[in-house]
Amino acid sequence: MHELGIASGILSSAITAAENVGATTISSVDVSIGVLTEVMEDALQFAWDELRQGTMAENAALTVTMLGARSRCADCGHDYEHGRYDAARCPSCGSYVVMLLQGRELDINRIDAD
């Protein structure tokens, strides 16, 4: 269950950021996660609820935005959204030379702390 490690990383980053600005409590954390990370949002929320106990983020809601996968064809420049497993081929020209634009993110967008 790699969500536990990811939740732990989000929590420690949020606490470090909050401590750096002299905050004592964290009220919410917003993250964006690409679908290609294979992170299950429910499992991440579950891990977050466990890990935040007894920390300054004890009452902090975790808001997760899942980002779809997008790639751009290197041959024709076509941008397209796709699922986890069908990224390899441009739907416009059929090229296999494609670059991933979005889908592997694991970003903390915002931390609300007081």
Q: What does the binding site for Zn ion look like in residue numbers (CB under 5 A)?
A: 73, 75-76, 78, 90, 92-93, 95
Least distance to Zn ion, CB of residue 77, Å: 7
Spatial separation of the C-alpha atoms in residues 54 and 113, rounded to whole Å: 16
Spatial separation of the C-alpha atoms in residues 97 and 4, rounded to whole Å: 35
Nearest to 60, CA basis, from 33, 32, 31, 29: 29
- Between 93 and 99, name the residue whose CB sits nearer to Zn ion: 93
- Between 46 and 80, name the residue whose CB sits nearer to Zn ion: 80
- Between 26 and 87, name the residue whose CB sits nearer to Zn ion: 87
Least distance to Zn ion, CB of residue 83, Å: 17
Spatial separation of the C-alpha atoms in residues 47 and 40, rounded to whole Å: 11
